[in-house]
Amino acid sequence: MKYLHYEVSTNSDDVIEVTLDSQANVLLLDSWNYSRYREGESFEYRGGWAKQSPVRFSPGSGNWHVVVDLGGYAGSVGAGVRVIR
């Protein structure tokens, strides 16, 4: 499974902003769920198929994993992730 992965740390009022150059799945996961994602097990996430960019999350304090993938479809996607403090 090919995907883009970004790890970010946030404070309580921060926003995670993901910019895309095409439509893709944008998933926000904690460490436990990211591990399950990588192992192909069931997992919980915020987000989903993004038709417009940017995508923004306000997850609260913590360490987060942002995954961008095409859901098994062929092609490529470019993405950027930043934390807005």
On average, the pLDDT of the chain sits at 95
pLDDT band, very low/low/confident/very high, at 1 (cuts 50, 70, 90): low
12 strand-pairing partners: none
Position 22 pLDDT exceeds 80 = yes
Residue with tokens 């970010």: 8
pLDDT band, very low/low/confident/very high, at 52 (cuts 50, 70, 90): very high
Q: Is this model's pTM higher than 0.75 or not?
A: yes
**In whole angstroms, what is the distance from residue 43 CA to residue 62 CA?**
18
Query: So where are the chain's domains?
Result: 4-84
Kindly state the average pLDDT of the residues 49-65: 97
Position 53 pLDDT exceeds 80 = yes
